[in-house]
Amino acid sequence: MKNVKMKWLFSLAVCLLLFATACNGGADGGDAGDAGDTDGDTQEDITLEYLAFAQPQEQEIYQQIFEQFEQDYPHVTIDATFLPPDDFWQQVQTRLGAGTQPDVFYVAPGNLDLLVDNNQIMELTEFIEATGIFNLDEIWESGIRRYQRDGEIYALPKDVGPFAYGYNQDLFEAAGVEIPNPDEPMDWNEYIEIAKQLTIDANGNNAASPDFDRDNIVQYGADFWWPHAAVWSAGADWLNEDETEITMDTPEFKEALQFMYDLRHEHSVVPSHDAADATSGYVRWLEGTVAMFPIAPWDQAAFWDLDFEYGLMPWPAHPETMESRTWLGSLGIAVGSNTDHPQEAFNLVAYLSVDEDAQRQMMELGLQVPNIVSLADEFVELEHLPHNKHVWIDTIEEYGRQAPQERTYNPEWWDRYNETVVELWMGNYTVEEYVETYQPILQGLLDRANEQRERSSR
């Protein structure tokens, strides 16, 4: 009897011991990098965990930055993980939620407020002021501004993404249309006229011709992607200044919607709803069957093999405001607030954001516009297409705006806008009906986002 009990107790003890070892083993594995040996002269060996997403070519460049960094800071080892872009934010959420922050990771401007309010990313201002690696005025101001809150900086740009308007030069020449001026935007009326001449049916008639067959279009004047450029140039916006109101019911906003609606239904210079679903504008651009298309710097490399010449121009402007406007995107690099090595983590962010060699390589490989202002001239002079690369620089400095959904606590209202406005583009609503129907719904969602903000910052 006693024997049996002992056996039982023994088995239980073994079980518990195994379990405990298993748990403990996991924990030890986690911070293996911290366990380096130290002597009086060198700093303790540390590991910085870096979580990001990147194209394969970008990853190679980052690898070089890491090697350079590890040479300059021999006590640091970088443990980098590149995730598929679509999984990235969910991974960050779960990592932060579980309290296992990476030391350095990407932050989209739209998530900045959430992360700051919940104390997940570190304020970088004092490090920036003290650092010898770079001066703040070396970086595009518009690239820094969106990572600022209450005067403090919380991230540095990984890149800035200006969307300029591209034109297929071969199609322009074939249609006998003058090449657009890269320094002066054309107005919407001129744009429509040009787009008509560049929209061609199967019989070779263009959209300005009375014989034009709108059901058999083989080449389009433009892609339909227009939202920011149209709304902002009309002097309208989706949101008011302090992001409390949806401001779609202004005459200016409706005019912008009407302009886009007419591009499709009145002038037939952009693909129809079904045609756009079947073949994206991007594919049409590659095929050379659309004459004007939005282009961002990261498209360059993929466009080098195109068998036509192309260039950039400012987005066409509203005839009254004559102000060209477009979306200037960005992605930030931030330091986790719980990092044990804030200084090293900050230094890594600085290398990734402003290391001159790396920035030069990125621009030469056609991955991005350099973050450093002083490289802009060199970038503009690069041999490869597009023509007029300075339009991207102008966009960073002048035309570009931050996307509206980045300014709110979550993008639900924006997602709903995009989902519902399709009904307008399909012709199921008039502009007036659309705004009347959806303004209150979007307002409700914006209120919900603002409620989240309030709860979070409490």
Partner 1 sequence: MATQGLSRLNRKEKWIAFIFIFPLVLQFVLFLFGPLIYSFYISMTDWNIFGTATFIGFENYINMIQNDRFWRAMGNTAFYLLGIPIGLAISMVLAVWMNRGIPGITIFRFLIYLPVVSSIVAITILWQWMYNYEFGLINHLLNSVGINSVNWLNNRDWVKPAIIILGIWRGLGVSTIFYLAALQNIPKSLYEAAEIDGANFLQKFRHITAPLLTPMTFFLIVTGVINTMQIFVEIQIMTPAGGPGYSSASIVFYIWQEGFQYNALGYASAASWLLGLMIFVITIFNFAMQKKWVHQ
Binding site for partner 1 (CB under 8 A): 4, 8, 11-12, 15, 19, 89-90, 93-94, 96-97, 114-115, 117-118, 120, 273-275, 277-279, 409-412, 415, 418-420, 422-423, 449, 452, 455-456
Nearest to partner 1 of 336, 400 (CB atom): 336
Cα separation, 393 vs 398, in Å, equals 8
Give φ, ψ of 185 to 5 degrees.
-70, 145
Nearest to partner 1 of 114, 257 (CB atom): 114
Nearest to partner 1 of 276, 358 (CB atom): 276
Nearest to partner 1 of 135, 456 (CB atom): 456
CA 277 to chain centre: 23
Looking up tokens 């959806």 gives 438
Nearest to partner 1 of 117, 170 (CB atom): 117
Residue 115 C-beta: closest distance to partner 1, Å: 7
CA 322 to chain centre: 26
Cα separation, 310 vs 29, in Å, equals 52
Looking up tokens 């405990």 gives 20
Residue 87 C-beta: closest distance to partner 1, Å: 10
Residue 434 C-beta: closest distance to partner 1, Å: 13
Nearest to partner 1 of 120, 359 (CB atom): 120
Cα separation, 392 vs 386, in Å, equals 10
Looking up tokens 């993929």 gives 302
Residue 441 C-beta: closest distance to partner 1, Å: 9
- The sign of the torsion formed by the CA atoms of 371, 375, 379, 380 equals positive
Nearest to partner 1 of 47, 219 (CB atom): 219
What SS3 class is residue 159? Answer: strand
Residue 439 C-beta: closest distance to partner 1, Å: 16
Residue 116 C-beta: closest distance to partner 1, Å: 11
Q: Are strands 290-295 and 217-222 parallel, antiparallel or unpaired?
A: parallel
**DSSP secondary-structure letter at 407?**
G
CA distances from 99 to 93, 96, 108, 241 (A): 10, 5, 20, 34
- The answer to whether 382 touches 364, Cβ cutoff 8 Å, is yes
Residue 313 C-beta: closest distance to partner 1, Å: 29
- The answer to whether 386 touches 295, Cβ cutoff 8 Å, is yes
Residue 410 C-beta: closest distance to partner 1, Å: 4
Nearest to partner 1 of 38, 90 (CB atom): 90
